[in-house]
Amino acid sequence: MTTPLVIDTDTAQDDCVALLVGLLDPDADLRAITMVAGNVGFDKQLRNAFLTLSVAGRLGEVPIHPGCRRPLVRPWVSAENVHGDGSGGLSMDDADLEPEREHAVDALIRLAAENPGELSIVAIGPLTNIAMAAVKDPDFVRNVGTLYVMGGSNNGRGNISAAGEFNFYVDPEAAKAVFASGFEVTVVPWDPLTLRQAVFDQERLDTIAAIGTPLSDFFGRVCAATLEFDRRVGIDGTTHPDSLAASLLLHPELVRRSGRYHVDVETAGELTRGYAAMSWGVHGLEANATVIEEIDADGFFDHLVGVLSRRTVPSRRITGL
């Protein structure tokens, strides 16, 4: 049986890889892509998503819904310094491609309501669209089956600041609202999960490059800018928070350990904007989330190798590939 899902994304670098997982993993039934303001310019994110659909050979098959173009309260903050344009300078003729007219928030509400309790959402950008959907439709929380969130750190390091992980930092009010909404959330944190267990070192990157498919070439191109950035900040390889979140939803057997936590997000701190306070059950707070603590790192890598080994024919010619 396949898992019906929506990926809510700020498409750049590993978001593209997460979309490939959603598009090509035989266990996935990707119903829609919803876009939220985050990594790079909003329209560029839309183009990156079209490009990813094309490299997967599935252009025109999965709708892309544009969502919130800025966070709930604060000005948008981007991550071009980390991801460049998010697609490694690749491009294709996309002048005729239009995203859906239906707003992402409405699409999320509709898709969840069509089959209450069955839809999974993998949220791999700031949580603006998800928070908006929960505010707009009082039934949305109940209608969503599973919500996987990539964000925060489990009492560990941030990335955009010492305390803040990017997705929660960009829209802390939305993240706080989501954890207070009553969703049954599963969190895929930056530290320790991504930072210590989902970094692909040079040997792994060489293995992927040697696959020699359009998908593996695409992977190398979209991850190049992030690799350079990571090395500058002392991370020995590329980071894969978003494709990890999609893979863990589809393959729970990759989870080695998880715990129940009360998660809340700092919106008032001077130095701790977006900090995720993950309380592990001893502070008298009721758990509202499952936080994944350890994964089968080799299994995750093998899974991505499997996806990138698929022999797709890009829907359109991609310049630079």
Which chain residues interact with ligand BDR by CB under 6 A? 14-15, 39, 79, 82, 124-125, 150, 159, 165-167, 190, 241-242
Return the closest-CA partner of residue 150 out of 24, 239, 270, 226.
239
Q: How far is the CB of 64 from Ca ion (least distance, A)?
A: 15
Q: How far is the CB of 254 from ligand BDR (least distance, A)?
A: 18
Q: Which residues contact Ca ion by CB under 5 A?
A: 10, 15, 124-125, 242
- Closer by beta carbon to ligand BDR, 90 or else 225: 225
Yes or no: say if 153 and 190 are a contact pair by the CB < 8 Å rule: yes
Among ligand BDR, Ca ion, none, partner that 165 touches (CB below 5 to 8 angstroms by kind)? ligand BDR
Q: How far is the CB of 114 from ligand BDR (least distance, A)?
A: 27
Return the closest-CA partner of residue 18 out of 217, 223, 279.
223
Among Ca ion, ligand BDR, none, partner that 295 touches (CB below 5 to 8 angstroms by kind)? none
- Closer by beta carbon to ligand BDR, 137 or else 222: 222
Q: Which residues contact 81 (CB under 8 A, 6 or more apart)?
A: 229
- Closer by beta carbon to ligand BDR, 107 or else 127: 127
Q: How far is the CB of 306 from ligand BDR (least distance, A)?
A: 22
Q: How far is the CB of 285 from ligand BDR (least distance, A)?
A: 24
Return the closest-CA partner of residue 315 out of 60, 87, 86, 100.
60
Long-range contacts of 26-29 (CB under 8 A, 24+ apart): 26/2, 27/2, 27/3, 27/250, 27/251, 28/2, 28/3, 28/246, 28/250, 29/2, 29/3, 29/4, 29/5
Yes or no: say if 61 and 28 are a contact pair by the CB < 8 Å rule: no
Among ligand BDR, Ca ion, none, partner that 79 touches (CB below 5 to 8 angstroms by kind)? ligand BDR
Cα gap 168→139, rounded to integer Å: 24
- Closer by beta carbon to Ca ion, 143 or else 188: 188
Amino acid at 226: T
- Closer by beta carbon to ligand BDR, 15 or else 106: 15
Q: How far is the CB of 242 from ligand BDR (least distance, A)?
A: 5
Among ligand BDR, Ca ion, none, partner that 235 touches (CB below 5 to 8 angstroms by kind)? none
- Closer by beta carbon to ligand BDR, 37 or else 106: 37
3-state secondary structure of 122: strand
CA angle (293, 224, 58) in 5-degree steps? 80
Among Ca ion, ligand BDR, none, partner that 264 touches (CB below 5 to 8 angstroms by kind)? none
DSSP code for 253: G
Cα gap 214→310, rounded to integer Å: 9
Among Ca ion, ligand BDR, none, partner that 215 touches (CB below 5 to 8 angstroms by kind)? none
